[in-house]
Amino acid sequence: MGSVRAVLIDIDGVLTVSWQPLPGAVEALREIRAAGLGVVLVTNTTSRTRASIARTLTDAGFAVSAEDILTAPAVTAAYLAEHWPGARCALLNSGDIAEDLGGVTVVGEDEGGDSAPDVVVVGGAGPEFGYAALNRAFGHLQRGARLVAMHRNLYWRTDQGLQLDTGAFLVGLEKAARVEAEITGKPSAAFFEAALAHVGVGADEAVMVGDDIESDVLAAQRAGVTGVLVRTGKYLPQTHRDASGTPDHVIDSFAGLPVLLAELPGSAQR
């Protein structure tokens, strides 16, 4: 590994839980910035725009701006523009992310015929993921629409405990419609490539910190980025034991990251 020049950081479960800062996270991020390292917050959060996330994190004490944040919706918009330019898209998502979907044509639920969607875009799960909405998406897929999903996370952690996420429903859609979703957020390699380009470093110069061993850490490692797993958020000992690989590093929480970075070979924090 070369000198560490940037840190990619998941938000939910790493910096915050239910948007409340985890102990020591604000101070650790401040220390990382003071060391001169680049920072990009990479998140599969699909219920808020980058600007909204930045405001919430700033209110919680984190020194961040919208430019520091890369979301699955923003990457999805770029993906659709490249691979399906002009496509009519049916969006199944919880929350308002229109601001981060610039250039994407979203069709209404009552549009059909020649206006039927070319792509079903699946975001984050929530109350909107009811039978009618899922069955409508299933119908579009049967008629030939492509399936694009911002992520396939099975669950996330809130202050009320673990909650079901998109992956729990996406598997059913894929199997019922006999299609495979194109994933645009983590764990796709394209997402990590976009994050590295966003902060302007090579894969061997970056560290990824996450609470999801598969989508955050091992996926980053496959992209050539050093992976750091934190034992907060959705972390479970069983998923750690049963994972498809081994994280490069494991720490108790994000608060311990500055110490780890200082110990890495060639670290800019030395």
Supply the angle between the helices 131-142 and 167-177 in degrees, to the nearest 10. 40
What does the domain layout of the chain look like in residue ranges? 6-44+187-263, 84-183
- pLDDT-derived band at 5 (thresholds 50, 70, 90) equals very high
Query: Tokens in use for 141?
Result: 């897929």
Residue 252 has pLDDT above 60, yes or no: yes
> Cβ distance 209 to 8 under 8 Å?
yes
Question: Stretch 123-142: mean pLDDT, rounded?
Answer: 94
Global pTM?
Answer: 0.82
Out of 43-52, 111-120, 218-227, 247-256, least confident range: 111-120
Residue 1 has pLDDT above 50, yes or no: no
- The superfamily in CATH containing domain 84-183 is HAD superfamily/HAD-like (3.40.50.1000)
Sort residue 106 into left (φ over 0), alpha (ψ -120 to 50) or beta: beta
Query: Tokens in use for 233?
Result: 């958020």
Question: Stretch 84-89: mean pLDDT, rounded?
Answer: 94
Question: Stretch 193-210: mean pLDDT, rounded?
Answer: 96
Element (H, E) at 89: strand 88-92
Taking only the tens place, the pLDDT of each residue in 21-71 is 999 999 999 999 999 999 999 998 888 889 999 999 999 999 999 999 999
Q: Report how far residue 208's alpha carbon sits from residue 8's, in angstroms, rounded to the nearest whole number.
A: 5
> Cβ distance 15 to 39 under 8 Å?
no
CA distances from 196 to 12, 131, 220 (A): 20, 38, 11
Q: Tell me the pairing of strands 16-17 and 20-21.
A: antiparallel
Question: Stretch 121-128: mean pLDDT, rounded?
Answer: 92
> Cβ distance 109 to 141 under 8 Å?
no
**Residue that is written with structure tokens 């959060």 in the block:** 45
Query: Domain 6-44+187-263 classified CATH 3.20.20.140?
Result: no
Write down the pLDDT at residue 269: 47
Same fold, 6-44+187-263 and 84-183: yes
Write down the pLDDT at residue 111: 52
Taking only the tens place, the pLDDT of each residue in 91-124 is 999 888 888 888 899 998 765 545 689 999 999 8
Q: Report how far residue 222's alpha carbon sits from residue 208's, in angstroms, rounded to the nearest whole number.
A: 11
Beta bridge partners of 6: 38, 206
